[in-house]
Amino acid sequence: MTDTETSMTAAETSMTAAETSMADTEASMTGAETTLIAVEPSASVAASAPATGAAYGAAPLWDYSPMADHLSYDAVNGARMQAPNPAVIRIPRLDVEAPIIPLGLQEDGSIEVPEDPDQAGWWLGGPEPGEPGPAVILGHVDSQEEGPAVFFYLQYLETGDEIHIDRVDGSTITYVVESTERHHKDVFPTDAVYGPTEQPTLRLVTCGGDFDFDVRTYEDNVIVFASLA
């Protein structure tokens, strides 16, 4: 298991280092296939095969409904008040602005991934940004055809950096980075990423670490944990 990276050196967090890493990664990408995010399902997330005609796979087992005394609880209808869906993610420090598409579950219980490396994907089985619980947004780190992708620089986010989510109703919700971590894909921290939280939280996930040319994928996942600003 790769040790969790809870801090970054000045070299890692500088844009000069980011540009150097970008050049190195582009050089190493020759002959590599498009890299997909590997979010491994656990007993908490895995579900049976979806019913016939289900567009985005089976629903996960977690219940994200807030308690009755929570601000997001609809006392009249006895349910969670629905927040607007996310439309665009903006990360000023990384000069990222990208559309967000919805993602469901595949038949094996793993999360779908965006086909377009310039798009981010929101797991629609979880809370919308702004609702209690973890809104999870996935994105590629790179691709053979286009080079660096939407979350190429994700590992360089620092505590306090802002992430803006523009929603379909024209509103914007802002999160602040709490930590950036890296985990080997064999020990993906499913509970920490997808498990319920009392307050609205955000998780951004992409690939990272060394590239394994034998299996054409990165060995790790980079995960950003953020809370409301």
The 10s digit of each residue's pLDDT in 103-157 is: 988 777 778 889 999 999 999 888 999 999 999 999 999 988 889 999 999 999 9
Q: Are 163 and 91 in contact (CB under 8 A)?
A: yes
Mean pLDDT over the full length of the chain: 74
Q: Are 146 and 118 in contact (CB under 8 A)?
A: yes
CA distances from 106 to 58, 87, 221 (A): 8, 22, 19
**Any domain includes 205:** yes
What's the rounded Cα separation, in Å, for the pair 87 and 150?
15
**Predicted confidence (pLDDT) at residue 46 exceeds the cutoff of 90:** no
**Any domain includes 4:** no
- The pairing of strands 73-74 and 86-91 is unpaired
pLDDT at 218: 86
CATH number of the domain that residue 90 is part of: 2.40.260.10
**Any domain includes 33:** yes
Check the CA dihedral 165-58-191-208 and report its sign: negative
Check the CA dihedral 212-214-217-221 and report its sign: negative
pLDDT at 13: 40
- Length reported for the chain: 229
Tell me the backbone φ, ψ of residue 14, rounded to 5 degrees. -85, 150
**Predicted confidence (pLDDT) at residue 173 exceeds the cutoff of 90:** yes
**Any domain includes 5:** no
Q: What is the mean pLDDT of residues 147-170?
A: 97
Tell me which range, 72-76, 157-161, 185-189, is most confidently predicted by mean pLDDT. 157-161
| Cα angle 72, 80, 71; round to 5 | 15
| Cα angle 81, 83, 84; round to 5 | 145
pTM over 0.85: no
Structural domain that includes position 138: 10-228
**Predicted confidence (pLDDT) at residue 209 exceeds the cutoff of 50:** yes
pLDDT at 81: 63
Tell me the backbone φ, ψ of residue 145, rounded to 5 degrees. -75, -35
What's the rounded Cα separation, in Å, for the pair 100 and 121?
5
Provide the number of structural domains found in the chain.
1
**Predicted confidence (pLDDT) at residue 187 exceeds the cutoff of 50:** yes
Q: What is the DSSP letter of 185?
A: G
| Cα angle 214, 104, 207; round to 5 | 35
**Any domain includes 3:** no
Lowest mean pLDDT among 32-46, 117-131, 180-194, 204-218: 32-46
